[in-house]
Structure 1
Amino acid sequence: MINIAKKVQATGDLMVDYFHYFALFVIGGTVVWSATYEYFQIMSGGYAKLKDILLLFIYLELGAMVGIYFKTHRLPVQFLIYIAITALSRHLVIDVQKVSSEYHLYLLMSISFSIVLLSLAVMI
Protein backbone atom coordinates (compact mmCIF):
# COMPACT_ATOMS: atom_id res chain seq x y z
CA MET A 1 0.00 0.00 0.00
CA ILE A 2 2.85 2.38 0.83
CA ASN A 3 4.55 1.52 -2.48
CA ILE A 4 1.40 2.51 -4.41
CA ALA A 5 1.17 5.80 -2.52
CA LYS A 6 4.78 6.60 -3.42
CA LYS A 7 4.13 5.84 -7.10
CA VAL A 8 1.01 8.01 -7.11
CA GLN A 9 2.94 10.81 -5.40
CA ALA A 10 5.81 10.53 -7.91
CA THR A 11 3.37 10.52 -10.84
CA GLY A 12 1.57 13.56 -9.44
CA ASP A 13 4.85 15.41 -8.95
CA LEU A 14 5.90 14.59 -12.50
CA MET A 15 2.56 15.77 -13.92
CA VAL A 16 2.82 19.04 -12.01
CA ASP A 17 6.35 19.57 -13.32
CA TYR A 18 5.24 18.90 -16.91
CA PHE A 19 2.31 21.29 -16.54
CA HIS A 20 4.64 23.89 -15.05
CA TYR A 21 7.05 23.66 -17.99
CA PHE A 22 4.21 23.72 -20.49
CA ALA A 23 2.66 26.80 -18.87
CA LEU A 24 6.03 28.57 -18.77
CA PHE A 25 6.62 27.72 -22.41
CA VAL A 26 3.19 29.13 -23.33
CA ILE A 27 3.80 32.29 -21.29
CA GLY A 28 7.26 32.75 -22.78
CA GLY A 29 5.93 32.19 -26.29
CA THR A 30 3.14 34.68 -25.70
CA VAL A 31 5.62 37.29 -24.48
CA VAL A 32 7.84 36.76 -27.54
CA TRP A 33 4.83 36.83 -29.86
CA SER A 34 3.46 40.03 -28.31
CA ALA A 35 6.85 41.74 -28.30
CA THR A 36 7.47 40.77 -31.92
CA TYR A 37 4.05 42.04 -32.97
CA GLU A 38 4.62 45.32 -31.13
CA TYR A 39 8.09 45.66 -32.64
CA PHE A 40 6.74 45.26 -36.18
CA GLN A 41 4.01 47.81 -35.41
CA ILE A 42 6.70 50.27 -34.32
CA MET A 43 8.80 49.57 -37.42
CA SER A 44 5.82 50.01 -39.74
CA GLY A 45 5.15 53.38 -38.11
CA GLY A 46 8.60 54.59 -39.08
CA TYR A 47 9.69 55.70 -35.62
CA ALA A 48 9.38 54.68 -31.99
CA LYS A 49 7.62 56.78 -29.42
CA LEU A 50 8.62 56.75 -25.76
CA LYS A 51 5.56 54.68 -24.84
CA ASP A 52 6.61 52.04 -27.39
CA ILE A 53 10.14 51.81 -26.02
CA LEU A 54 8.87 51.50 -22.45
CA LEU A 55 6.44 48.79 -23.55
CA LEU A 56 9.33 46.86 -25.13
CA PHE A 57 11.18 47.13 -21.80
CA ILE A 58 8.18 45.58 -20.07
CA TYR A 59 8.26 42.69 -22.55
CA LEU A 60 12.01 42.32 -22.00
CA GLU A 61 11.55 42.09 -18.23
CA LEU A 62 8.72 39.57 -18.61
CA GLY A 63 10.89 37.43 -20.86
CA ALA A 64 13.82 37.65 -18.47
CA MET A 65 11.57 36.64 -15.59
CA VAL A 66 10.33 33.56 -17.46
CA GLY A 67 13.90 32.66 -18.46
CA ILE A 68 15.17 32.94 -14.90
CA TYR A 69 12.28 30.82 -13.68
CA PHE A 70 13.19 28.13 -16.24
CA LYS A 71 16.79 28.07 -14.99
CA THR A 72 16.34 28.43 -11.23
CA HIS A 73 12.77 27.20 -10.56
CA ARG A 74 12.27 30.33 -8.46
CA LEU A 75 10.29 33.44 -9.30
CA PRO A 76 12.36 36.49 -8.42
CA VAL A 77 10.03 39.06 -6.92
CA GLN A 78 12.42 41.82 -7.99
CA PHE A 79 11.46 41.28 -11.62
CA LEU A 80 7.78 41.72 -10.81
CA ILE A 81 8.65 44.94 -9.02
CA TYR A 82 10.77 46.11 -11.98
CA ILE A 83 7.83 45.43 -14.28
CA ALA A 84 5.53 47.40 -11.98
CA ILE A 85 7.99 50.32 -11.84
CA THR A 86 8.31 50.35 -15.63
CA ALA A 87 4.54 50.17 -16.09
CA LEU A 88 3.99 53.00 -13.61
CA SER A 89 6.70 55.07 -15.28
CA ARG A 90 5.07 54.48 -18.65
CA HIS A 91 1.71 55.49 -17.21
CA LEU A 92 3.25 58.57 -15.60
CA VAL A 93 4.95 59.72 -18.79
CA ILE A 94 2.25 58.83 -21.31
CA ASP A 95 -1.22 58.69 -19.77
CA VAL A 96 -1.19 61.31 -17.03
CA GLN A 97 -1.43 64.20 -19.50
CA LYS A 98 -4.87 62.95 -20.54
CA VAL A 99 -6.33 63.25 -17.01
CA SER A 100 -8.54 66.20 -16.11
CA SER A 101 -6.80 69.02 -14.27
CA GLU A 102 -8.57 68.69 -10.90
CA TYR A 103 -7.17 65.20 -10.22
CA HIS A 104 -3.91 65.64 -12.09
CA LEU A 105 -1.78 66.57 -9.06
CA TYR A 106 -3.14 63.76 -6.88
CA LEU A 107 -2.58 61.19 -9.60
CA LEU A 108 0.91 62.50 -10.27
CA MET A 109 1.82 62.36 -6.58
CA SER A 110 0.33 58.91 -6.00
CA ILE A 111 2.12 57.38 -8.99
CA SER A 112 5.41 59.03 -8.02
CA PHE A 113 5.04 57.82 -4.44
CA SER A 114 4.28 54.30 -5.68
CA ILE A 115 7.44 54.30 -7.81
CA VAL A 116 9.54 55.45 -4.85
CA LEU A 117 7.94 52.84 -2.59
CA LEU A 118 8.56 50.05 -5.09
CA SER A 119 12.15 51.22 -5.57
CA LEU A 120 12.69 51.02 -1.82
CA ALA A 121 11.15 47.55 -1.79
CA VAL A 122 13.71 46.36 -4.35
CA MET A 123 16.55 47.64 -2.17
CA ILE A 124 15.38 45.66 0.87
Structure 2
Amino acid sequence: MHDQADVIGNLLVESFHYLALFAIGASIAWAALMSFLGMIEAGRATIDDILLLFIYLELGAMVGIYFKTNHMPVRFLIYVGITALTRLLIADIQHTHTPTMGILMVCGGIVLLALATLVVRYASFRFPATPIIGQPRRKSDDEED
Protein backbone atom coordinates (compact mmCIF):
# COMPACT_ATOMS: atom_id res chain seq x y z
CA MET A 1 0.00 0.00 0.00
CA HIS A 2 2.89 2.35 0.79
CA ASP A 3 4.42 1.72 -2.66
CA GLN A 4 1.11 2.52 -4.38
CA ALA A 5 0.79 5.74 -2.38
CA ASP A 6 4.33 6.70 -3.44
CA VAL A 7 3.51 6.05 -7.09
CA ILE A 8 0.30 8.10 -6.92
CA GLY A 9 2.00 10.88 -4.96
CA ASN A 10 4.89 11.07 -7.43
CA LEU A 11 2.44 11.13 -10.35
CA LEU A 12 0.48 14.00 -8.78
CA VAL A 13 3.63 15.98 -7.99
CA GLU A 14 5.02 15.50 -11.51
CA SER A 15 1.65 16.41 -13.05
CA PHE A 16 1.48 19.61 -11.03
CA HIS A 17 5.11 20.35 -11.88
CA TYR A 18 4.52 20.12 -15.65
CA LEU A 19 1.20 21.95 -15.47
CA ALA A 20 2.80 24.81 -13.52
CA LEU A 21 5.74 25.01 -15.96
CA PHE A 22 3.40 25.17 -18.94
CA ALA A 23 1.27 27.82 -17.21
CA ILE A 24 4.35 29.92 -16.39
CA GLY A 25 5.71 29.51 -19.92
CA ALA A 26 2.36 30.43 -21.46
CA SER A 27 2.10 33.48 -19.19
CA ILE A 28 5.56 34.65 -20.24
CA ALA A 29 4.74 34.15 -23.93
CA TRP A 30 1.41 35.95 -23.55
CA ALA A 31 2.97 38.89 -21.69
CA ALA A 32 5.75 39.19 -24.29
CA LEU A 33 3.22 39.08 -27.13
CA MET A 34 1.05 41.75 -25.47
CA SER A 35 4.09 43.97 -24.98
CA PHE A 36 5.13 43.48 -28.58
CA LEU A 37 1.63 44.26 -29.85
CA GLY A 38 1.65 47.39 -27.68
CA MET A 39 4.87 48.48 -29.39
CA ILE A 40 3.33 47.88 -32.81
CA GLU A 41 0.23 49.83 -31.79
CA ALA A 42 2.37 52.73 -30.52
CA GLY A 43 4.37 52.65 -33.74
CA ARG A 44 7.68 52.73 -31.90
CA ALA A 45 9.77 50.77 -29.45
CA THR A 46 11.64 52.46 -26.64
CA ILE A 47 14.72 51.08 -24.91
CA ASP A 48 12.41 50.23 -21.98
CA ASP A 49 10.30 48.08 -24.30
CA ILE A 50 13.30 46.29 -25.73
CA LEU A 51 14.77 45.57 -22.30
CA LEU A 52 11.37 44.27 -21.19
CA LEU A 53 11.43 41.84 -24.11
CA PHE A 54 14.89 40.71 -22.98
CA ILE A 55 13.46 40.05 -19.52
CA TYR A 56 10.74 37.91 -21.07
CA LEU A 57 13.37 36.09 -23.15
CA GLU A 58 15.47 35.33 -20.07
CA LEU A 59 12.44 34.13 -18.13
CA GLY A 60 11.40 31.91 -21.03
CA ALA A 61 14.90 30.46 -21.29
CA MET A 62 14.90 29.83 -17.55
CA VAL A 63 11.60 27.92 -17.78
CA GLY A 64 12.91 25.92 -20.74
CA ILE A 65 16.11 24.97 -18.94
CA TYR A 66 14.18 24.04 -15.81
CA PHE A 67 11.80 21.93 -17.91
CA LYS A 68 14.69 20.02 -19.52
CA THR A 69 16.98 19.59 -16.52
CA ASN A 70 14.82 19.98 -13.38
CA HIS A 71 17.47 22.43 -12.13
CA MET A 72 16.74 26.09 -11.49
CA PRO A 73 19.34 28.16 -13.33
CA VAL A 74 20.10 30.77 -10.67
CA ARG A 75 22.26 32.75 -13.08
CA PHE A 76 19.19 33.51 -15.21
CA LEU A 77 17.45 35.01 -12.21
CA ILE A 78 20.49 37.22 -11.70
CA TYR A 79 20.42 38.18 -15.39
CA VAL A 80 16.76 39.14 -15.04
CA GLY A 81 17.66 41.30 -12.04
CA ILE A 82 20.49 43.00 -13.94
CA THR A 83 18.24 43.68 -16.92
CA ALA A 84 15.45 44.99 -14.68
CA LEU A 85 17.83 47.33 -12.87
CA THR A 86 19.27 48.51 -16.19
CA ARG A 87 15.75 49.20 -17.41
CA LEU A 88 15.01 51.14 -14.23
CA LEU A 89 18.25 53.11 -14.59
CA ILE A 90 17.59 54.07 -18.20
CA ALA A 91 13.98 55.03 -17.48
CA ASP A 92 15.04 57.16 -14.52
CA ILE A 93 17.72 58.96 -16.52
CA GLN A 94 15.39 59.50 -19.49
CA HIS A 95 12.56 60.93 -17.40
CA THR A 96 14.32 63.00 -14.72
CA HIS A 97 17.61 64.00 -16.36
CA THR A 98 19.00 64.82 -12.91
CA PRO A 99 21.79 62.90 -11.23
CA THR A 100 20.65 61.56 -7.87
CA MET A 101 21.92 59.15 -5.27
CA GLY A 102 19.35 56.66 -6.57
CA ILE A 103 21.32 56.30 -9.80
CA LEU A 104 24.41 55.33 -7.84
CA MET A 105 22.42 52.82 -5.79
CA VAL A 106 20.99 51.19 -8.92
CA CYS A 107 24.48 51.05 -10.46
CA GLY A 108 25.78 49.51 -7.23
CA GLY A 109 23.02 46.90 -7.41
CA ILE A 110 24.01 46.05 -10.97
CA VAL A 111 27.65 45.65 -9.92
CA LEU A 112 26.65 43.43 -6.98
CA LEU A 113 24.55 41.22 -9.25
CA ALA A 114 27.43 41.00 -11.75
CA LEU A 115 29.73 39.92 -8.92
CA ALA A 116 27.12 37.38 -7.82
CA THR A 117 27.15 35.96 -11.35
CA LEU A 118 30.92 35.67 -11.17
CA VAL A 119 30.69 33.85 -7.83
CA VAL A 120 27.99 31.45 -9.10
CA ARG A 121 29.93 30.66 -12.27
CA TYR A 122 33.16 30.10 -10.34
CA ALA A 123 31.42 27.92 -7.75
CA SER A 124 29.71 25.78 -10.40
CA PHE A 125 33.05 25.31 -12.17
CA ARG A 126 35.13 24.71 -9.05
CA PHE A 127 32.56 22.66 -7.13
CA PRO A 128 30.32 20.85 -9.65
CA ALA A 129 27.21 19.15 -8.37
CA THR A 130 27.76 15.53 -7.44
CA PRO A 131 25.73 13.13 -9.56
CA ILE A 132 23.04 10.98 -7.98
CA ILE A 133 24.07 7.33 -7.85
CA GLY A 134 22.80 5.52 -10.94
CA GLN A 135 22.45 8.69 -13.04
CA PRO A 136 25.03 9.90 -15.55
CA ARG A 137 26.93 13.04 -14.57
CA ARG A 138 25.27 16.16 -15.98
CA LYS A 139 27.53 18.81 -17.45
CA SER A 140 27.41 22.13 -15.64
CA ASP A 141 26.28 25.29 -17.43
CA ASP A 142 29.90 26.33 -17.89
CA GLU A 143 31.27 23.12 -19.43
CA GLU A 144 31.67 22.93 -23.18
CA ASP A 145 30.63 19.97 -25.34
| Structure 1 residue identity aligned to 2:111 | V
For the residue of structure 1 that corresponds to 2:100, the secondary structure is helix
Aligned 8 A contact 1:88 1:111 in 2: yes
Displaced runs of 4 or more, over 2 A: 95-99
Deviation readout 1:6-27 (Å, 9 max, x if unpaired): 2101211111111010001000
What is aligned with 1:113?
Answer: 108
For the residue of structure 2 that corresponds to 1:33, the secondary structure is helix
Listed as ranges, the matches of 1:3-14 within 5 Å are: 4-14=1-11
Aligned 8 A contact 1:35 1:59 in 2: yes
Q: In structure 2, what is the Cα distance between the partners aligned to 1:64 and 1:57?
A: 10
C-alpha displacement of 1:98: 4.7
Q: In structure 2, what is the Cα distance between the partners aligned to 1:95 and 1:32?
A: 27
Which structure's relative contact order is higher, taking Cα pairs within 8 Å and 6+ residues apart? 1
Q: In structure 1, what is the Cα distance between the partners aligned to 2:43 and 2:100?
A: 34
C-alpha displacement of 1:90: 0.2
What is aligned with 2:77?
Answer: 80
**Distance change >3 Å, CA 107–CA 97, structure 1 → 2:** farther
C-alpha displacement of 1:95: 2.9
Aligned 8 A contact 1:35 1:56 in 2: yes
Gaps spanning 5+ residues in structure 2: where?
120-145
Note if 1:51 corresponds to 2:28.
no
Q: In structure 1, what is the Cα distance between the partners aligned to 2:71 and 2:44?
A: 37
| Structure 2 residue identity aligned to 1:13 | N
Q: In structure 2, what is the Cα distance between the partners aligned to 1:42 and 1:96?
A: 21
| Structure 2 residue identity aligned to 1:56 | L
Note if 1:25 corresponds to 2:27.
no
For the residue of structure 1 that corresponds to 2:16, the secondary structure is helix
Aligned 8 A contact 1:54 1:86 in 2: yes
Gaps spanning 5+ residues in structure 1: where?
none
Normalising by the residue count of structure 1, what TM-score does the alignment of the two structures yield?
0.89
